[in-house]
Amino acid sequence: MAKTMNITPANIELCESAKAELIERLEELARMTRRYPVECVFGEFRRVFATKADIQKLIDELAEEISDYYRRAA
């Protein structure tokens, strides 16, 4: 999979916070996508969700990228 985001010391907290918010609001956001696409913007990242799967994909990507960031930092 090609890298879609670059997590750095400057944005790690923002990425962790965004992931936590997406997880917390997953069902609410998924319901919203049934009526219209939902835009998510955090830092320099922008995504548009059309389905719950789109939201889950970003959560998974963030989790993987955050893990990679900490693995590289160790």
- Comparing C-alpha atoms, which of 19, 10, 2 is closest to residue 67? 19
d(CA 52, CA 7): 24
Report, as an integer, the average pLDDT of 7-23. 95
- Determine contact, residues 62/22, Cβ cutoff 8 Å: yes
The SS3 assignment for 68 reads: helix
What DSSP state is assigned to residue 37?
-
pLDDT, residue 2, reads: 43
pTM for the model stands at: 0.89
Q: Name the amino acid, one letter, at 9.
A: P
pLDDT exceeds 90 at position 44:
no
Bridge partners for 40 per DSSP? 47
- Condensed to tens digits (0 to 9), the pLDDT of residues 56-73 reads 999 999 999 999 999 998
